[in-house]
Amino acid sequence: MINMGINTMYTKEGARILIVDDEPINLKLLDKILSAQGYNNLVLLQDSRKVLDTYRQQRADLILLDINMPYLDGFDVLEQLKALDDPLFPPVVILTAQNSQDFLLRALNAGARDFITKPFDRNELLARVRNMLDAYLAHRLVFEQKDVLDEIVQTRTNELRRTRLQVVQRLGRAAEYRDNETGNHILRMSHISALLAKSIGWNEADCELMLHASPMHDIGKIGIPDHILLKPGKLDPEEWEIMKTHATIGANILEGDDSDLMRCASEIALTHHEKWDGSGYPYGLSGEAIPLTGRIAALADVFDALTSERPYKKAWTVESAVDLIKESRGTHFDPELVAVFLQQLPEILNIRDRFSEPESEGNPS
């Protein structure tokens, strides 16, 4: 692991220059010339075996590298550094007394960017160092800004997902309030739906979709007249027909957008009252003709509705709700989903506890 050691100084003077030369006199000379020019972040190394560790601890913005050194020569050092695969690898300038074409070509191929021939010419040295740093620091700035931008995009994306979830949950909650249902019903119902999806092997993204889309299952109730929706007694057949239209109204509200979320939400709104044996509504679909999203939502919705207290009924006990679900295996509900539901019952009860109604605490359930 390389310590990127991002320093906030982008001035050339603050740039870290690693100078490697086995001759102390050369190090001293380079130090003197560069310091006099204002470069104040010089790291001098006489032992080429220490380059790799030094670089790992604190990367450099420029490396001036001697070639002829004991233990590890400049080519060996270059090879070690290149193997780090640092995306921000700094330019390496070779310090050499040789200037044969073969030698220079070999150094270039090994990854060197430029040369300074010994003995050093002060002006040439400063010009090369300045040019290298100008180019490298500009490159580094762009690179680091890209990281910052990536992070901003990630944060914004997360924020957007969070807001979207909030909006859909609150939209669902609005519909539930109109229906005198409790706000937490949609939280429990959507988490149970996502759990069932996960338990039948759906991937994480699809489970998340289920979690975000199912809260809107009853959104169509906002299109049902109050005298029906809020009627305390039993609905007569005509009123019941109108009540049933909440499924298509919901689908109409949600359809028309091609995002996965809206497509899934619309499908659930439309099909969450279909029954496995074909006796549901609005289309009387049966078996696997009912989208799996609708089958899952139906089971989660009914279980939570049964075990919740409503103005017109007491909460059922978990036991009796489970009995009803078992009895409805293959009539109302997809039998395979019922099996998964029963396996996951402890986790489903955890969800109930997590999102319990404060005012209903102590009620038999």
Q: How many residues bind Fe ion (CB under 5 A)?
A: 2
Shortest spacing between CB 230 and Fe ion, in angstroms: 15
Closest to Fe ion by CB, 267 or 301: 301
CA atoms within 13 A on the CB side of 312: 12
Closest to Fe ion by CB, 113 or 217: 217
Shortest spacing between CB 200 and Fe ion, in angstroms: 21
Closest to Fe ion by CB, 128 or 352: 352
**Please, which contacts does 169-174 make with residues 24 or more away whose CB atoms are closer than 8 Å?**
169/215, 171/215, 171/216, 171/219, 172/215, 172/216, 172/217, 172/218, 172/219, 173/215, 174/222
Give the residue among 192, 225, 227, 184 at the shortest CA–CA distance from 210. Answer: 192
Q: Cis ω on the peptide bond leading into residue 119 (within 30° of 0)? A: yes
Binds Fe ion by CB under 5 A, chosen from 218, 267, 274, 334:
218
**Per-residue mark of binding to Fe ion, 277-316 (x: CB under 5 A):** ------------------------x---------------
Closest to Fe ion by CB, 21 or 301: 301
- The answer to whether the CB of 46 falls within 8 A of the CB of 21 is yes
Query: Which of these segments, 113-121, 192-200, 214-222, 341-349, binds Fe ion (CB under 5 A)?
Result: 214-222
- The answer to whether the CB of 299 falls within 8 A of the CB of 325 is yes
DSSP label at 235? P
Rounded to 10°, the helix 292-306/318-327 angle is: 140
Query: Which of these segments, 115-123, 211-219, 235-243, 336-344, binds Fe ion (CB under 5 A)?
Result: 211-219
The answer to whether residue 267 forms part of the interface with Fe ion (CB under 5 A) is no
Query: Which of these segments, 133-141, 210-218, 226-234, 313-321, binds Fe ion (CB under 5 A)?
Result: 210-218
As a whole number of angstroms, the distance between CA 341 and CA 351 comes to 13
Closest to Fe ion by CB, 61 or 181: 181
Shortest spacing between CB 362 and Fe ion, in angstroms: 23
Closest to Fe ion by CB, 27 or 325: 325
Q: Starting from the edge strand earliest in sequence, which strands make up the sheet with 114-117, in order?
A: 42-45, 17-20, 62-66, 92-96, 114-117
**Residues near Fe ion (CB under 5 A):** 218, 301
